[in-house]
Chains A and B, each alone.
Chain A
Amino acid sequence: MSDVHASPTQEVCSVQVGDTLYGVPIAHVLEILGKPATQPVPLAPYFVGGLVHYRGEVLTAVSLRRLLGMEPAKTPEDVLVFENPDGLFGLFVDSVGEVLHVSQAEHEPNPATLEPRRQQLFAGAWKLKDRLLVSLEPERLDPMRLASAFPA
Chain B
Amino acid sequence: MDDLTREFILESREGLDRMERCLTDLETRPGDTELLAEIFRSVHTIKGTTGFLGFSRLEALSHAGENLLGLLRDGKLAANPDIISGLLALMDVLRGVLQSIETTGAEGESQQADSALIARLEELQRGDASLAVAEPVLAAVEAAPSHAARPRKPRGTGKHISRRPRGDHQGTPPPNDPGEAGPPIAVEAAPREAEPQPRPAPAAVSSTSARPATQAQPEAPAAATPGAADSTLRVDVELLNRMMNLVGELVLTRNQILQATSTDANFALLGRRLDMVTADLRESVMKARMQPVSHLFSRFPRLVRDLALALDKRVHLEMEGQETELDKSLLEAIRDPLTHSIRNAIDHGIECPDVRVAQGKPAEGLVRLRACHEGSHVIVEVHDDGAGMSIERIRQKAVERQLVSPQRAEQMNEREILQLIFLPGFSTAAAVTNVSGRGVGMDVVRTNVEKIGGKVEVDSHAGKGTILRLRIPLTLAIIPALIVHSRGQNFAVPQASLTELVHMSAGETDNRIEWLENAALYRLRGRLLPLVFLDRLLQQPPRERTAPCDIAILNADGRRFGLVVDGLADPEEIVVKPLAAVLREIGYYAGATILGNGEMALILNPGSIAQNANVTLTSEADDGLDENRAGRQDFLLVETGNRRAALPLETVVRIERIPRSRIERAGSRPVLRFEGQLLPLDDAASELIDASDDPEAQTTVVVCRDGDRQVGMTVSQVLDVTGGKQLEQAGTGGVAGGITLLHERVTGIVGLSGIPSLECVAETPAVPDFPSAEETQ
Contact B580 A143 (CB under 8 A): yes
Closest residue of chain B to A42, judged by CB? B538
Minimum Cβ distance to chain A for residue B498 (Å) = 21
Which residues of B sit under 8 angstroms from A59, Cβ to Cβ?
A: 580
Q: Which of B299-307, B591-599, B621-629 contacts A (4 or more CB under 8 A)?
A: B591-599
Whether B586 is near chain A, meaning CB under 8 Å from some CB there, is yes
A87 to B583, CA, bound (A): 14
Contact of A60 among B245, B252, B538, B580 (CB under 8 A): B580
Contact B245 A43 (CB under 8 A): no
Chain A 38-50 interface 0/1 with B at a Cβ cutoff of 8 Å (1 = within): 1111111100100
A87 to B592, CA, bound (A): 15
Which residues of A sit under 8 angstroms from B249, Cβ to Cβ?
A: 55-56
Which residues of A sit under 8 angstroms from B538, Cβ to Cβ?
A: 42-43
Which residues of A sit under 8 angstroms from B540, Cβ to Cβ?
A: 42
Closest residue of chain B to A148, judged by CB? B582
Contact B539 A57 (CB under 8 A): no
Which residues of A sit under 8 angstroms from B474, Cβ to Cβ?
A: none
Which residues of B sit under 8 angstroms from A43, Cβ to Cβ?
A: 538-539, 586, 588
Contact A60 B583 (CB under 8 A): yes
Minimum Cβ distance to chain A for residue B578 (Å) = 8
Contact of B489 among A39, A48, A53, A56 (CB under 8 A): A39
Contact B245 A37 (CB under 8 A): no
A42 to B491, CA, bound (A): 11
A126 to B133, CA, bound (A): 88
Whether B579 is near chain A, meaning CB under 8 Å from some CB there, is yes
Chain A 51-76 interface 0/1 with B at a Cβ cutoff of 8 Å (1 = within): 10101111110000000000000000
A147 to B594, CA, bound (A): 25
Which residues of B sit under 8 angstroms from A38, Cβ to Cβ?
A: 600
Chain A 11-45 interface 0/1 with B at a Cβ cutoff of 8 Å (1 = within): 00000000000000000000000000111111111
Closest residue of chain B to A60, judged by CB? B580
Which residues of A sit under 8 angstroms from B578, Cβ to Cβ?
A: 58
Closest residue of chain B to A52, judged by CB? B600
Minimum Cβ distance to chain A for residue B493 (Å) = 15
Contact of B598 among A37, A41, A60, A89 (CB under 8 A): A37
Contact B592 A39 (CB under 8 A): yes
Which residues of A sit under 8 angstroms from B387, Cβ to Cβ?
A: none
Whether A115 is near chain B, meaning CB under 8 Å from some CB there, is no
Whether B736 is near chain A, meaning CB under 8 Å from some CB there, is no
Whether B601 is near chain A, meaning CB under 8 Å from some CB there, is yes
Whether A128 is near chain B, meaning CB under 8 Å from some CB there, is no
Whether B233 is near chain A, meaning CB under 8 Å from some CB there, is no
A56 to B248, CA, bound (A): 6
A86 to B579, CA, bound (A): 11
Given A51-B592, A56-B246, A56-B249, CB of A40 within 8 Å of CB of B582: no
A66 to B588, CA, bound (A): 23
Which residues of B sit under 8 angstroms from A39, Cβ to Cβ?
A: 489-490, 592, 599-602
Whether B581 is near chain A, meaning CB under 8 Å from some CB there, is yes
Minimum Cβ distance to chain A for residue B372 (Å) = 32
Given A39-B600, A55-B249, CB of A144 within 8 Å of CB of B539: no
Given A48-B583, A87-B580, A144-B581, CB of A58 within 8 Å of CB of B588: no
Whether B577 is near chain A, meaning CB under 8 Å from some CB there, is yes
Minimum Cβ distance to chain B for residue A66 (Å) = 13
A39 to B578, CA, bound (A): 15
Which residues of B sit under 8 angstroms from A56, Cβ to Cβ?
A: 244-249, 577, 594
Chain A 107-127 interface 0/1 with B at a Cβ cutoff of 8 Å (1 = within): 000000000000000000000
Which residues of A sit under 8 angstroms from B246, Cβ to Cβ?
A: 55-56
Minimum Cβ distance to chain B for residue A103 (Å) = 35
Contact A58 B582 (CB under 8 A): no
Minimum Cβ distance to chain B for residue A38 (Å) = 8
Contact B245 A143 (CB under 8 A): no
Chain B 731-752 interface 0/1 with A at a Cβ cutoff of 8 Å (1 = within): 0000000000000000000000
Chain B 246-272 interface 0/1 with A at a Cβ cutoff of 8 Å (1 = within): 111100100000000000000000000
Which residues of B sit under 8 angstroms from A41, Cβ to Cβ?
A: 583, 586, 589, 602
Contact B580 A89 (CB under 8 A): yes
Minimum Cβ distance to chain B for residue A42 (Å) = 4
A131 to B490, CA, bound (A): 43
- Give the interface centre of A41, A44, A86 by most chain B CB atoms within 10 Å: A41
Contact B577 A55 (CB under 8 A): no
Closest residue of chain B to A87, judged by CB? B580
A40 to B594, CA, bound (A): 14
A57 to B577, CA, bound (A): 7
Contact A44 B245 (CB under 8 A): no
Contact A55 B580 (CB under 8 A): no
Which residues of A sit under 8 angstroms from B489, Cβ to Cβ?
A: 39-40, 42
Contact of B579 among A37, A58, A144 (CB under 8 A): A58
Minimum Cβ distance to chain A for residue B448 (Å) = 25
Contact B593 A37 (CB under 8 A): no
A78 to B247, CA, bound (A): 24
Which residues of A sit under 8 angstroms from B577, Cβ to Cβ?
A: 56-58
Contact A147 B592 (CB under 8 A): no
A60 to B592, CA, bound (A): 10
Contact of B581 among A37, A51, A86 (CB under 8 A): A86
Closest residue of chain B to A59, judged by CB? B580
Minimum Cβ distance to chain A for residue B492 (Å) = 12
Minimum Cβ distance to chain B for residue A74 (Å) = 18
Which residues of B sit under 8 angstroms from A51, Cβ to Cβ?
A: 592, 600, 602
Given A39-B592, A40-B489, A44-B586, CB of A60 within 8 Å of CB of B579: yes
Closest residue of chain B to A39, judged by CB? B600
Contact B594 A58 (CB under 8 A): yes
Closest residue of chain A to B488, judged by CB? A40
Which residues of B sit under 8 angstroms from A146, Cβ to Cβ?
A: 582
Minimum Cβ distance to chain A for residue B596 (Å) = 13
Chain A 70-95 interface 0/1 with B at a Cβ cutoff of 8 Å (1 = within): 00000000000000001101000000
Contact B600 A143 (CB under 8 A): no
Given A43-B538, A55-B249, A58-B594, CB of A37 within 8 Å of CB of B599: yes
Which residues of B sit under 8 angstroms from A144, Cβ to Cβ?
A: 580-582
A68 to B581, CA, bound (A): 22
Given A41-B602, A55-B246, CB of A143 within 8 Å of CB of B582: yes
Q: Can you list 26 A-B pairs, Cβ within 8 angstroms, ordered by A?
A: A37-B598, A38-B600, A39-B599, A39-B600, A39-B602, A42-B540, A44-B586, A48-B582, A51-B602, A53-B252, A53-B594, A55-B245, A55-B249, A56-B245, A56-B249, A56-B577, A57-B245, A57-B577, A58-B577, A58-B592, A60-B579, A86-B580, A143-B580, A143-B581, A144-B580, A147-B585
Given A39-B489, A53-B600, A56-B244; 7 other pairs, CB 8 A cutoff:
A37-B600, A43-B538, A55-B249, A56-B246, A58-B578, A58-B593, A143-B580
